[in-house]
């Protein structure tokens, strides 16, 4: 029989009220509370190393930064997230290399059932998010679970990304759609 954590990571219905998950969220929230406080750059970097699942070289995340668990977040090298980003990481969130996020970006892997009886049960599920290399996510963008963005994608400020997009596009709007293609010169 699977634990609630195993169900969560597999994208199946699980109880977020499970004692193990409550403890792990509390630990992550304690770390982000310290990260968001008046601490040195060196301490912030050490907190990220403890909090995140994996991280590449040369990353920067500005406070305030909020997560559910942290260990489901995987960041490639040369990553930057501006102020007030929120990553609800009940399933993996993967960033390629050279990714930049504007302020107020929300990446939300957690989802709730549409059926009100199921939703009122307190159970939820999640779907992963993957963001390719060389992506620029504008300010106040929301990306929901199940989305994959290819390489060299630019997401216009204020967009809500509800589906996946391939490489070399500028997307924007609510819901996001392709605004133009990006010509990559070799």
Cβ burial of 76 (10 Å; 0-12, 13-18, 19+) is buried
d(CA 81, CA 91): 19
Rounded CA gap, 116 and 73, in Å? 30
Q: Which residues are identified as catalytic?
A: 112
């Amino acid at each position: 029989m699977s634990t609630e954590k195993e169900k969560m990571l597999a994208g199946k219905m699980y109880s977020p009220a499970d004692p193990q998950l409550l403890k792990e969220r509390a630990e992550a929230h304690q770390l982000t509370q310290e990260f968001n406080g008046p601490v040195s750059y060196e301490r912030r970097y050490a907190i990220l190393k403890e909090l995140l699942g994996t991280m590449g070289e040369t990353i920067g995340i500005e406070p305030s930064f909020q997560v559910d668990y942290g260990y489901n977040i995987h960041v490639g090298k040369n990553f930057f997230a501006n102020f007030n980003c929120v990553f609800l990481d009940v399933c993996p969130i993967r960033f390629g290399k050279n990714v930049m996020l504007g302020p107020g970006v929300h990446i939300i892997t957690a989802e709730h059932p549409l059926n009100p009886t199921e939703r009122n049960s307190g159970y939820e599920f999640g779907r992963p998010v993957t963001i390719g290399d060389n992506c620029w996510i504008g300010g106040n963008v929301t990306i929901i679970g199940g989305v994959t963005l290819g390489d060299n994608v630019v997401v216009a400020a204020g967009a809500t990304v509800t589906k996946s997009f391939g490489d070399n596009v500028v997307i924007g709007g609510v819901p996001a759609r392709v605004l133009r293609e990006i010509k990559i010169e070799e």
